[in-house]
């Protein structure tokens, strides 16, 4: 293995060794959401005419799990290594900032997709979900995981304490995923909140992803792709830049 492949392997091994916590637990959480919300709301909410609420919920839950776990992987790995000091083992190596980026984000995407696949396999038992445009599913899943993995790198470099990391996760990442249309179509919202939702990039990740299953969405998947692709470019550039200058990791 070359240097960046080793770092990617190490980062994957890191979460895989504690997969109960990093993979199984989020799958169970998503299943609980499906059972509870699906049960409570299935008779009251109708989003699209030919799709049951439970079916509508599945892609949203899958994508939410992909996003949250991709973020959690790179951010928690970096903050733990910084606080325990073992990041020095990577800092002493000849690995370039691009190697760091590919390895940390690559491992995040891997974990995000593992959890997403797990959530899909479990939840699809309870309802029927189609595959109207499979390529869109893959593209949005990978891009969404990549954006959140990159954001996790940024947060992991920035945070100096677990408390700051928890704030980033609970006050930014979680609200933005919950308010992005996982549990509802934004067309059900008052006009003002529809406008606000259009400013949330997470909305486009989930809307585009859902299009891949049902062939219908709130906005055109091409618009979503443009916005999600741009977000990847912006967040990825910031992460690469911070790694290049050694932000908060090289004195």
The nearest distance, CB 85 to other proteins, in angstroms, is 4
Spell out the long-range contacts of 24-30 with Cβ–Cβ below 8 A and sequence spacing 24 or more: 24/118, 26/65, 26/68, 26/69, 26/115, 26/118, 26/119, 27/65, 27/115, 27/118, 27/119, 27/122, 29/65, 30/61, 30/62, 30/64, 30/65, 30/119, 30/122, 30/123
Q: Could you tell me which of 158, 11, 190 has the C-alpha nearest to residue 82?
A: 158
The nearest distance, CB 149 to other proteins, in angstroms, is 19
Site for other proteins contains 248 (CB under 8 A): no
Distance (Å, whole) CA 233 – CA 245: 18
- Comparing CB distances to other proteins, the nearer of 45 and 102 is 102
Site for other proteins contains 46 (CB under 8 A): no
Among 20, 43, 85, 163, binds other proteins (CB under 8 A): 85
Site for other proteins contains 7 (CB under 8 A): yes
The nearest distance, CB 83 to other proteins, in angstroms, is 11
Among 57, 63, 95, 139, binds other proteins (CB under 8 A): 95
Site for other proteins contains 198 (CB under 8 A): no
Site for other proteins contains 220 (CB under 8 A): no
The nearest distance, CB 81 to other proteins, in angstroms, is 8
The nearest distance, CB 119 to other proteins, in angstroms, is 25
Site for other proteins contains 229 (CB under 8 A): no
> Hey, what are 199's tokens?
């400013």
> Contact letters (x/-) for other proteins, 125-164, by CB under 8 A?
----------------------------------------
- DSSP assignment, residue 52? -
Site for other proteins contains 191 (CB under 8 A): no
Tell me the residue length of the chain. 251
Residue with tokens 């109960």: 20
The nearest distance, CB 158 to other proteins, in angstroms, is 19
Spell out the long-range contacts of 178-183 with Cβ–Cβ below 8 A and sequence spacing 24 or more: 178/64, 180/64, 180/205, 180/206, 181/60, 181/206, 181/207, 181/218, 182/57, 182/60, 182/61, 182/63, 182/64, 182/206, 183/37, 183/57, 183/60
Contact positions toward other proteins, by CB under 8 A? 1-3, 5-7, 9-10, 13-14, 17-18, 81, 84-86, 88-96, 246, 250-251
């Amino acid at each position: 293995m070359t240097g960046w492949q080793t770092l990617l392997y190490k980062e994957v091994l890191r979460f895989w060794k504690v997969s109960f916590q990093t993979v199984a637990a989020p799958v169970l959480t998503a299943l609980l959401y499906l059972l509870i919300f699906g049960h409570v709301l299935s008779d009251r909410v109708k989003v699209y005419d030919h799709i049951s609420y439970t079916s509508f919920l599945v892609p949203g839950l899958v994508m939410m799990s992909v996003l949250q776990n991709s973020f959690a992987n790179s951010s928690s790995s970096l903050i733990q290594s910084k606080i325990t000091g073992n990041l020095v083992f990577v800092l002493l190596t000849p690995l370039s900032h691009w190697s760091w980026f590919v390895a940390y984000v690559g491992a995040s995407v891997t974990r995000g997709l593992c959890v997403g696949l797990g959530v899909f396999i479990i939840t699809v038992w309870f309802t029927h979900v189609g595959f109207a445009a499979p390529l869109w599913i893959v593209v949005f899943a990978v891009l969404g995981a990549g954006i959140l993995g990159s954001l996790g790198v940024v947060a992991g470099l920035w945070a100096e304490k677990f408390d700051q990391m928890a704030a980033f996760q609970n006050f930014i990442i979680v609200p933005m995923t919950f308010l992005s249309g996982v549990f509802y179509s934004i067309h059900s919202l008052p006009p003002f909140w529809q406008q606000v939702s259009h400013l949330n990039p997470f909305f486009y990740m989930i809307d585009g992803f859902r299009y891949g299953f049902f062939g219908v969405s709130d906005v055109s998947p091409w618009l979503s792709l443009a916005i999600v692709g741009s977000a990847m470019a912006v967040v990825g550039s910031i992460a690469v830049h911070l790694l290049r200058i050694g932000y908060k990791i090289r004195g």
